[in-house]
Homo-oligomer: A and B are copies of this chain.
Amino acid sequence: MDNFIFLFNEKEAKYKQVYQQIKVLITQGTLTPNDSLPSIRKLAETLQVSRNTTLTAYEQLVAEGYIRGEGRKGYFVNALEQVFLQEQEQPIMSQPKSNTTSLLFDFRAGAVDQQHFPMKTWRQMSNQVLQEPSCYQYGEMFGDPLLKEQLVQYLLQARGVSTNIENIVIGSSTQQMLLYLGFLLKDHFPSILLEDPGYNGAREAFQLHHFSIEAMPVLETGAQLDVLTHCQSRLVYVTPSHHFPYGVSMNIQQRQALIQWAQQVDGFILEDDYDGEFRYSQQPFPALASIDPSRVIYLGTFSKSFLPGVRLSYMVLPNALVQPFKERFAQFEQNASSLHQRTMAQFMAQGEWTRHIKRMRMTYKQKMQHLVQELQRQFGQQVTILGEQSGLYVLVKILSPLSEQQLIQRAASYGVKVYPTSPFFLHETAEQPMLQLGFSKLTMEEINLGVERLKEAWQP
């Protein structure tokens, strides 16, 4: 089907009418499974509406399962049984309970690109793994040996960390591992130094354990390490490769200063390397754990680099902590799925992991550049962008009389979700409203349109 023509009424939003009409064509059988739909641009031209209108209609149809997007190929009609199945499970649009604008562009940082996900390979390997007898019993307590083997190789090659299988512990998330570690550390370390601003999820984990918390101020230019000379703590939690949220990396002098401090106070550094894979301007910096593994608890995750839903994370313990940790948790079962662990081990062993990271680095680099460009084009001097060298989000400082909260609400009323940074601050505060925009799961076109809408939303 190349195009549609129909008349609009004045009562309802145009995108709703487009949505309704196409839905009727599908349910009546005029459009049949796998029929292709006109492109967003083409349909907009024919109907003489904005591309925003046709995109919104398509997005709604996708959300409800009537049609699917297949990247550059365009949009296609789904088989109807699928639709009804999905509708039963999750009614999305029927009986709207509030009249809020439905969410169209979600600049969420905690998501990954679906289009480039190696679906076929991952499925094949998962399916294969289900035949292994080891899947039918409890997995190894501290993680699957095959996955640990792969991680040993990967960490050496990609992050410069030289370690052994025995030092690696697999967990379901960084937070879960921090909570477990807390039981071990808090007897000897009553307080901990945290970056400010910093990752609030880690802060919460330490607070649950009643660590007393000291702040290490971080500016847009980097961490202020002079606090090390007069703090009480002998434990510090940092994100040296890609500071959360500012995105700065510690230089080698700072890294060495941190390590020396840990050696002097006989303490430990918790290095959270949550997205060290994605650095766009240079090679990723080697991890702190590559300088002195005896002073660093290294934390890594597959949530950004692969899929948050698999809930796979890992840590590398310094030798001194391996036995104490394993003794403390000798009666505890593994938290991460052994099916996913096994599949990931296969995926890495066959070189798919390296390919995936390379591919995603390219994809995300392009998206990042595009987002930065669009923000600059639409907002010019009104915005300052931070952290565009690496990672899956940028920070956007906005010159505006509106508060962070107001900016978020205005955006939401235009169907765009952007995220606050204020929860990351402990004592420090940003002098201007600053928002977090993730881009990983958005298409180029969605980035365009999302930023366009932000421009409208934030107009004085």
Contact of A309 with B90 at beta-carbon distance under 8 Å, contacts A179-B179, A204-B332, A340-B337 already known: no
- Does residue A390 face the partner (Cβ distance < 8 Å to B)? no
Binds B, one of A121-129, A241-249, A449-457: A121-129
The contact of A111 among B131, B138, B307, by CB within 8 Å, is B138
Query: When chains A and B are docked, how far (Å) is the Cα of A330 from the Cα of B336?
Result: 21
A338 contact set on B, CB distance < 8 A: 308-309, 311
Query: When chains A and B are docked, how far (Å) is the Cα of A303 from the Cα of B338?
Result: 12
- Does residue A117 face the partner (Cβ distance < 8 Å to B)? yes
Identify 10 residue pairs between A and B in the complex whose beta-carbon atoms are under 8 Å apart, listed by A's number. Answer: A89-B349, A110-B138, A136-B307, A136-B441, A172-B336, A175-B332, A200-B331, A201-B333, A309-B337, A311-B334
Q: How many residues on A have C-beta within 8 angstroms of the other chain's C-beta atoms?
A: 56
- On whether the beta carbons of A172 and B175 are closer than 8 Å, the reply is no
- Does residue A173 face the partner (Cβ distance < 8 Å to B)? yes
- Does residue A49 face the partner (Cβ distance < 8 Å to B)? no
A173 contact set on B, CB distance < 8 A: 333-335
Query: When chains A and B are docked, how far (Å) is the Cα of A172 from the Cα of B307?
Result: 17
- On whether the beta carbons of B349 and A337 are closer than 8 Å, the reply is no
A397 contact set on B, CB distance < 8 A: none
- Does residue A14 face the partner (Cβ distance < 8 Å to B)? no
Contact of A335 with B172 at beta-carbon distance under 8 Å, contacts A122-B130, A183-B208 already known: yes
Among A133, A310, A339, the most chain B Cβ lie within 10 Å of the Cβ of A339
Contact digits for A100-123, partner B, Cβ 8 Å, 1 yes 0 no: 000000001011111001010011
- Does residue A433 face the partner (Cβ distance < 8 Å to B)? no
A172 contact set on B, CB distance < 8 A: 172, 176, 311, 335-336
- On whether the beta carbons of B176 and A146 are closer than 8 Å, the reply is no
The contact of A332 among B201, B330, B335, by CB within 8 Å, is B201
- On whether the beta carbons of A138 and B308 are closer than 8 Å, the reply is yes
Q: Which of A162-181 contact B (CB under 8 A)?
A: 172-173, 175-176, 179-180
A63 → B minimal CB distance (Å): 8
Query: When chains A and B are docked, how far (Å) is the Cα of A343 from the Cα of B337?
Result: 13
- Does residue A355 face the partner (Cβ distance < 8 Å to B)? no
Contact digits for A78-96, partner B, Cβ 8 Å, 1 yes 0 no: 0000000000011000000
Query: When chains A and B are docked, how far (Å) is the Cα of A348 from the Cα of B169?
Result: 32
A387 → B minimal CB distance (Å): 20
- On whether the beta carbons of A136 and B114 are closer than 8 Å, the reply is yes
A62 → B minimal CB distance (Å): 8
Query: When chains A and B are docked, how far (Å) is the Cα of A233 from the Cα of B117?
Result: 51
- On whether the beta carbons of A127 and B137 are closer than 8 Å, the reply is no
Chain B residue, CB-CB nearest to A438? B137
- Does residue A300 face the partner (Cβ distance < 8 Å to B)? no
- On whether the beta carbons of B328 and A208 are closer than 8 Å, the reply is yes
- On whether the beta carbons of B110 and A137 are closer than 8 Å, the reply is yes
User: Which 3 A-B residue pairs are closest in the complex by CB-CB distance?
Assistant: A111-B137, A309-B338, A204-B331
- On whether the beta carbons of B136 and A112 are closer than 8 Å, the reply is yes
Chain B residue, CB-CB nearest to A122? B130
- On whether the beta carbons of A130 and B119 are closer than 8 Å, the reply is yes
- On whether the beta carbons of A201 and B331 are closer than 8 Å, the reply is yes
A413 → B minimal CB distance (Å): 22
Q: Which of A290-316 contact B (CB under 8 A)?
A: 303, 307-311
A119 contact set on B, CB distance < 8 A: 130-131
A90 contact set on B, CB distance < 8 A: 146
Chain B residue, CB-CB nearest to A174? B333
Query: When chains A and B are docked, how far (Å) is the Cα of A310 from the Cα of B335?
Result: 9
A420 → B minimal CB distance (Å): 13
- On whether the beta carbons of A139 and B308 are closer than 8 Å, the reply is yes
